[in-house]
Amino acid sequence: MVTEHMPSVRSAALGFFVHTGSRGESVTEAGLSHFLEHLLFKGTARYASAEIDQLFDGMGAELNAGTDKESTAVYARMLDQHLPAAFDVMADMVWRPAYNDVDPEREVVLEEIAMYEDDPQDTVFDVLGEAVFGDHPLGRPIIGRAPVIRDTPIDVIADFHKRRYVPGSVVIAAAGSVDHDAIVELARATQSGSHGVEPVAAPEPAPSDPGARVRFVRKDTEQVHVTLGGLGLQRGDERRFAARVLDAIFGGLSSSRLFQAVREERGLAYSVYSFAGQYADTGQVGLYVGTRPDNLVEAMKVVGDELERLREQPATEEELVRARENVKARIVLGMESTGSRMHRLGGSLLFGLPLLETEEVMERIDAVSMDDMRSLVDDLWAPGRLSAAGIGPDEDKFCDAVRGVAGEAVSA
């Protein structure tokens, strides 16, 4: 358990962070973490689904949840006076779901999957995940597979919950107008009767050198959606501060190189940016461009030129100063939100990261040097290590366009 008292606010943010996500699923379980997240909202023995909605609406509170590769979180924001009541309901949802109305919720998730698969701007990132990580669970979509959602019996889902939602795999985090000892007492009162204490077993190790691949999914779209990427830094890597600065320089800001070269100077895309993600023992870096088919070749040439420029000169002094200041500002502005602080606390403790003070984070960002930039570029954006993924109407044209910036073409 972890809390942070913020004396200047009257609200509280509360979250239950569970160390389970799509990475821990087998092929036959693909999507159960996400489906189970939905089912937590369908009620418990004490609270019906509609009653949960009514209680939180009556408190003026925001209740939500999310599933990613390595964790699931149930979280809420409320006035401090409503924290005990919110805690009671959320704890019951997390520890003791009743699996009410499972079949209607299957249909909801199947609709969500269909909606998701209709949006190539989202699904292209999962195509890239498969290209980078192959058949490893990190390469599968978090949202899951329709047959698993449709056909998995309730008792299998209940067993899935029983094996993963155990106290040893859960962090409770709160920030705002909160008292740590009071939160601990609420946890003791509401956890009674929950099953097991042992944390979930470690997942299958990530591939260390999966190689570069090209994946393409043919679809009649107006744009070609392109992602390039490869392995990145693991979550606890000390270079993660430098990686945030590098991402800001390359494609994370409106003044970044990719945004300026592809969109502002040539008008080849509306959406273009770089990104990075971290996991327990690996990570991923990448970039996205959405462009019309007749602009694809030129857009990929510009991207290739910017990658080469990045390798030759990762940053100018002016870019480095601007990116460091931007990253610091985004962190500080985010820390003014109780929700952001709660998520930072819960994620850090769940994944064993140090809980750094804001000043410590600022110092580490200020310490990022030009040499750090060069080293990261060599490790993350080296020629020949990037995979490519695309969704669009013409596979041959896509493969021709990304040739030279990615590996051998193998269609999905």
Q: Using CA of residue 137, residue 204, residue 131, residue 267, what is the dihedral sign?
A: positive
Q: How far apart are the first and last CA of the chain?
A: 43
Sheet holding 224-231, edge to edge: 272-278, 283-291, 224-231, 387-392, 213-218, 408-409
Helix 317-334 vs helix 370-380: crossing angle, to nearest 10:
80
Catalytic residues, which ones?
Answer: 37
Nearest to 228 by CA among 50, 102, 374, 405: 405
CA 341, CA 18: separation in Å to the nearest integer?
17
Residue pair 235/280 in contact (Cβ under 8 Å)? The answer is yes
Structure tokens at 62: 């925001």
Angle subtended at Cα 207 by Cα 20 and Cα 352, rounded to the nearest 5 degrees: 40
Q: Which residue has the tokens 């200020």?
A: 366
Residue pair 128/229 in contact (Cβ under 8 Å)? The answer is yes
Residue pair 2/173 in contact (Cβ under 8 Å)? The answer is yes
Instruction: For residue 54, give the DSSP letter.
Output: H
Q: Where are the beta strands (DSSP E) in 151-239?
A: 170-176, 213-218, 224-231
